[in-house]
Amino acid sequence: MDTNETYQKLIDHFREYVDLAEIDIDRITSKFEIIYIKKKDYLLRAGQISNHMRFIVKGSLYVYTLDEKGKECVNQLGFEDWWINDLYSYLRQKPSEMYIQANEESIIIRISKKDLDILFKEVPAVSEFWRLKIQNAYVLLQERIFGNTHIDAFTKYKAYVTKYPNIEQRFPQYMIASYLGITVEYLSYLRKKHLSDLF
């Protein structure tokens, strides 16, 4: 995937939400930077302050924290066309507790907080875009909260893999389990028990 193609993916993404004048396109893309990362590379480590918004052009990543016992707790799995970040650290400019790591070879396009804040001022469409995006993300999170609070493990699991059908091919079971807040052993047990419900 060449540079132009990569920037085009970003623009296409913006245009799913807002109109962009030709003149804005350059102002936007000139502030973004392309990053190529290999499997297991980190985009962010606990202790660092997240200074960029990142958009996944190709590949997939996972975000996790470590609990008191040093176990990884997955907070987010993301693929192509998703923004991925620790918004807490980014927005408040405080050290993150999260790690963002590549699940496979990936292409990321990123913008610094400084530049994005400039874009918000200079290009209203970007501000508008961001409001829409974050509203959307909020609604999705809300659904996820409901799922995590009032729904049993297998139903959660089934809903998740149905919503993102190829997640099982791309992420290992133990990450999906951690994301859903259940143990990998129990998930394995459930999958066997409900085999017939899965196909």
CB 31 to a copy of itself: min, Å:
18
Q: Reduce the DSSP state of residue 75 to 3 states and report it.
A: strand
Cβ-Cβ contacts under 8 Å for 168 (sequence gap 6 or more): 161, 176
Rounded distance between C-alpha atoms, residue 83 and residue 171, angstroms: 18
* Residue 173 interacting with DNA (CB under 7 A): yes
**Rounded Cα–Cα distance for residues 65 and 46 (Å):** 8
* 90, 99, 130, 154: which one binds DNA (CB under 7 A): 154
Rounded Cα distance between 153 and 159, Å, is 10
Q: Site for DNA (CB under 7 A): which residue of 43, 63, 123, 182?
A: 182
CB burial class (10 A; 0-12, 13-18, 19+) of residue 150? Answer: exposed
CB 3 within 8 A of CB 34: yes
> Which residue, 1 or 141, is less far from a copy of itself as judged by CB?
141
By a kind-dependent CB cut-off of 5 to 8 A, residue 91 interacts, out of a copy of itself, DNA, none, with a copy of itself
Instruction: Print the binding letters for residues 62-101 with DNA: x by CB under 7 A, - otherwise.
Output: ----------------------------------------
From the list a copy of itself, DNA, none, partner contacted by residue 195 (C-beta under 5 to 8 A by kind): none
* Cα 19 to Cα 6, 64, 136, distances in angstroms: 19, 34, 18
Which residues are at the interface with a copy of itself (CB under 8 A)?
A: 65, 67, 73, 75, 87-88, 91-92, 120, 124, 127-128, 130-131, 134-139, 141-146, 148-150, 180-181
Looking at beta carbons only, is 1 or 73 nearer to DNA? Answer: 73
Helices (H), 69-180: 87-92, 113-122, 124-150, 153-163, 167-170, 173-180
Residue 107 CB, shortest distance to DNA, in Å, is 19
Question: Footprint of DNA on this chain (CB under 7 A)?
Answer: 152-154, 172-174, 181-192
